[in-house]
Amino acid sequence: MPAGRHLVVDSDSHVFESAAIWDQYLDPAYRAAARSAFSYRLADDGRVAVTLNGKPAPPMNRGPLNRQAIWRPGMTPEQIGDIDPRRPCPINPGAQDAKARLADMDEMGIDRAVLFPTLFAEYFPLVEDPYIAASLARAYNDWIANFCRAAPARLYPVAVLPLQDVTFAIDELRRTAAAGFKASFVRPSFFQGRFLNHPDYDRLWAEAERIGTAVCIHPSPGTANPQWASQGAFVERVASNLRIGHNIAEAIAPFMDNATALTAFAFCGHMETFPKLKLVFAHSGASWVVLALEKAETYLTFFMIDKVCLEPEKIFFKRNYLVTFSPWESSITRLHDIVENIGAWGSRYPNHDAAPPADTERKLSAAKVPPAVIARFMGANAAAIYGMAPA
């Protein structure tokens, strides 16, 4: 990092899972069963064909264009908009190859990146068999760990946890933490009929708090899921009359799902019970947080729920929490004094709506956000939560 420049941490970037997870990293004893439970292949027309619990799963995209893995440094929104969604487009190699990823980071001006899954975010929570879910989680985590060994000081893996069984999730949390993972991925959806505020998960939160690993509440669009799993499927049903040719849930569902998780935590006393837990709300923006906390306070006061703080925002902003925002979130310039200590920029690379850090820094500077706050947004806040070495 050049002298005088602040640290830039990409707090919300993604990989697109390699077939090697199933071919090389999966326990051979589970390989056949796991492929039936959750796997994917590229169809002849370029579509990503996913198998889930023994049946073909709905695709994440309506056409063959894999919008989750096509953005490359230098691409503009106009260029993305000009891509024909009816035709397949090669994915960015940086979505699956560490060397290509590091080259893209250099071109974008990113020092470090936190890596989240894509297909494992959308489909993995719906795997029914807990034993197979545990084997798939281990395979993914071993693959992403090996991916990040290319530059361990720059690439930070986020572990997938098999919440289908709490004991298995705790085992994988401990295993990955011992291997050096700084964070774990949890989607704000139902696992075996349980949402994240279910008492069964208290053991998991307590263990994450004890170990000191960050728990990242990271939504997925949910377009390929049943309506009970995420708001995304409902949004797509509403949008079916729009006839715009592609899904729109990813624009709305992430903050709806994360707001649901935060509201559930506020009403069940999660923040009070686990005061030292590192918690990250990723891939959903930062603007919704203020409204969600305000609404929670209004109704908590109305119902006077016992043993729960009636003013959750007084707790939220004092905890070891992080909320990521996207390059296009203009409202962050008006909320910077509220979220200055918990906000963190994320590129959304290699999704189609990604953008480099310079775009966000120019926007923040033009709005006269103080340079010290910009530095916290662009890297320092994330580095603190994830225990990254100083710049």
The answer for residues whose C-beta is within 8 angstroms of residue 381's C-beta and 6 or more apart is 322, 341, 342, 343, 344
Is the per-residue pLDDT at 330 higher than 60? yes
pLDDT at residue 369 in the model: 97
Residue 216 maps to a domain: yes
Residue 77 maps to a domain: no
CATH number of 112's domain: 3.20.20.140
Tally the C-alpha atoms within 13 A of residue 338's C-alpha that lie toward its C-beta: 16
Q: pLDDT tens across 102-137, in order? A: 999 999 999 999 999 999 999 999 999 999 999 999
Residue 74 maps to a domain: no
Closest by CA to 70, choosing from 90, 86, 87, 84, is 90
Is the per-residue pLDDT at 303 higher than 70? no
Please work out, in degrees rounded to the nearest 5, the angle formed at the alpha carbon of residue 80 by the alpha carbons of 78 and 81: 65
Is the per-residue pLDDT at 307 higher than 80? no
For residue 203, count other CB atoms closer than 10 A to its CB: 13
Residue 55 maps to a domain: no
pLDDT at residue 81 in the model: 85
Mean pLDDT of 358-386: 97
pLDDT at residue 159 in the model: 98
CA separation for the pair 269, 315 (Å, rounded) = 11
- Report how many domains make up the chain: 1
Residue 159 maps to a domain: yes
pLDDT at residue 247 in the model: 77
Q: pLDDT tens across 274-284, in order? A: 999 999 999 99
β-pairing, 9-14 with 112-116?
Answer: parallel
Q: What are phi and psi of 133, to 5 degrees?
A: -60, -40
β-pairing, 38-42 with 48-52?
Answer: antiparallel
Q: pLDDT tens across 194-250, in order? A: 999 999 999 999 999 999 999 999 999 888 888 777 888 888 787 777 666 677 777
- What would the DSSP string read from start to end of 60-91? SSSSS--TTS---TT--HHHHHHS-TTS--PP
Q: pLDDT tens across 335-347, in order? A: 999 999 999 999 9
- Domain encompassing residue 236: 9-32+93-385
Is the per-residue pLDDT at 93 higher than 80? yes
Residue 152 maps to a domain: yes
Residue 207 maps to a domain: yes
Q: Mean pLDDT for the chain?
A: 92
Residue 391 maps to a domain: no
Mean pLDDT of 80-103: 91
Is the per-residue pLDDT at 21 higher than 80? yes
Q: pLDDT tens across 137-178, in order? A: 999 999 999 999 999 999 999 999 999 999 999 999 999 999
pLDDT at residue 239 in the model: 75
